[in-house]
Chains A and B, each alone.
Chain A
Amino acid sequence: MNRTLAIAALVLGALAAIGGSPYRAQHANVDAARLARAIAHEDDHVTALELAEWIRDRKPRLRIIDLRSEREFATYHLPRAERVPIEAIPSTPFARDETLVLISDGGAHAAQAWVLLQSLGYRDVYFLRGGLGEWLDDVMSPAKPSDLTRYFGGVPRATGDEAAYGGGTSAAVKAMRRRGC
C-alpha cells in the first residue's frame, strides 16, 4: 500500500465527513430581493408572441417545459414542448446554459415552478404569463392574423373557429381557450 496515497485518501475522506452535501439542489437558496426585482421588472415571463418568435427563430438552447397533465398535453401542446410534471421539476436536471420556458394552463403553476427553478440556481427561466390560453388566443387564432399565426398553422378568428388550430380536434382545444366565442 502506497503510504502517501493512503494518507491523501484518508485526509480527503475525513474532510468529506464534515464537508457537507455535494448535491446542488440541497443548497437551494432564495435571494428574495433579487426575485422581487425580476418580477417588478417583468424579467420573469415571456408573452406568447415573444415565445412564438423564439420558436420560429430556432433560439439556441431553448427548452419549452409543459407542466400540464398528460391528457392535456396529448390534446394540444406547443411545437418542441416537453412535458415535465411540476413535482418532477426539482429533480429534473436542466443544463445551466439552457433557456427554460414554463407553460401551464393559466400561468399560476408555471410562475410557481419559476420560483422553484430560481431557488435551485437556474437563471435563464421564464414562464408564459397567460398560460396556454394566451398562446391559443394571441398566436394560433388572433383577431388580426400575423406571420406567426401562419407559421404555426393557426387560423385567424375572423375566418371561423371551426377551422382554427388546423381543424382536427379543435373542439377539445377550443375548451382550453380563455375567451370563448
Chain B
Amino acid sequence: MTAPLVDFAAFSAASQLAIAVFIGLAFGFALERAGLGDARKLAGQFYVTDFTVLKVMFSAIVTAMLGAYWLARLGVLDLARVFVPETYVLPQLAGGALFGIGFVLAGLCPGTSCVAAATGRGDGALTVVGMFAGVLATGLAFAPLRAFYASTARGSLTLPQLLDLPYGVVVCAIVAIALAVFRIVERWERRAA
C-alpha cells in the first residue's frame, strides 16, 4: 500500500495485507458487476460497439481524482506522500502497444482476467497463466532489455506539472472532458443499438 495511511496510522504488516485482500476482493466484485469479466464485452471496446471499459475506467479515474484532490485540500491526505510512478516515454509507449495487442487478442486485461478466472471462465484462467508466463519470460530476458527499459526517463510527471496549470484547473478540465465523452459515447451506443 502506498505512503499516507501506512505512515500516519502505522498499520502492521499483517493488517496491511488484510486490508489489501479486502480492497482486492471489493475491486474484483466491482469489475464483475460492471460486466468486465466478459471478454466479448471488453473486446467490444476495440470494435467501438461497447464503451463499458471506457466508462468504468474513466469514472474510476474521475472519482479517485476528485477524492484525492478534496481529501488533500481538506488536509486529510498528504498528496506529496502519494507514490507517482515514473515516466519512461519510449518503453511505456512500446509496453502500452504490446499490452493493447494482448488485450484485444485475449479480450481481457490483467485485473479482468483474474475476475474472469474467478467466475470459472476458461479463457480467463488461461490468460492468467499466460500473463504470469510473460512476466517470468520478461524477467529472465531482462538483461538485454535493461538499457531500453531505463531510456527516455522523465521522472515522476503529473499533468499539472506537464501542462504548467494549477492542479484544480486540471481536475476541473478532466471532469468536464469525462462528462462530455460519456455523453458522446452513450449517444453513439444508442445509435448502434
What 1/0 mask marks residues of chain A from 80 to 103 whose CB sits below 8 Å from any chain B CB?
Answer: 000000000001010111000000
Closest CB of chain B to A3's CB: distance in Å?
A: 11
Does A21 interact with chain B (Cβ within 8 Å)?
yes
Q: Judge whether A10 is part of the interface by a CB distance below 8 angstroms.
A: yes
Q: Is the interface of A mostly helix, strand, loop or mixed?
A: loop
CB-CB < 8 A to B72: which residues of A?
22-24
The count of residues in chain A whose C-beta lies closer than 8 Å to any C-beta of chain B is 22
Q: Within 8 Å of chain B (Cβ to Cβ): is A12?
A: yes
Distance from A75 Cβ to chain B, minimum over Cβ atoms (Å): 30
Are A22 and B167 in touch, CB under 8 angstroms?
yes
In the complex the two chains form, what is the Cα distance from A9 to B177 in whole Å? 12
Name the interface residues of B75-98: CB closer than 8 Å to any CB of A: 75, 78-81
Chain A residues near B79: list those with CB within 8 A: 22-24
Q: Which of B39-47, B107-115, B134-142, B178-186 contacts A (4 or more CB under 8 A)?
A: B178-186
Most chain A CB atoms below 10 A, which of B63, B80, B174: B80
How many B residues face the partner with a CB closer than 8 A?
30
B173 to chain A, nearest CB (A): 8
> Contacts A21-B166, A24-B80 hold; do A9 and B62 have CB atoms under 8 A apart?
yes
Q: What are some 21 contacts across the A-B interface (CB < 8 A)? A: A1-B179, A1-B183, A6-B179, A9-B175, A10-B175, A14-B172, A14-B175, A16-B66, A17-B168, A18-B168, A19-B70, A19-B73, A22-B69, A22-B73, A22-B79, A22-B167, A23-B72, A23-B167, A24-B78, A91-B80, A97-B8
Q: Which residues of B are interface residues toward A (Cβ below 8 A)?
A: 3, 7-8, 62-63, 66, 68-70, 72-73, 75, 78-81, 166-169, 171-172, 174-176, 178-179, 182-183, 186
Instruction: List 12 additional A-B contacts (Cβ < 8 Å) besides A9-B175, A22-B168, A24-B80.
Output: A1-B179, A6-B179, A6-B182, A9-B66, A10-B175, A14-B172, A16-B169, A17-B171, A19-B70, A21-B167, A23-B72, A96-B8
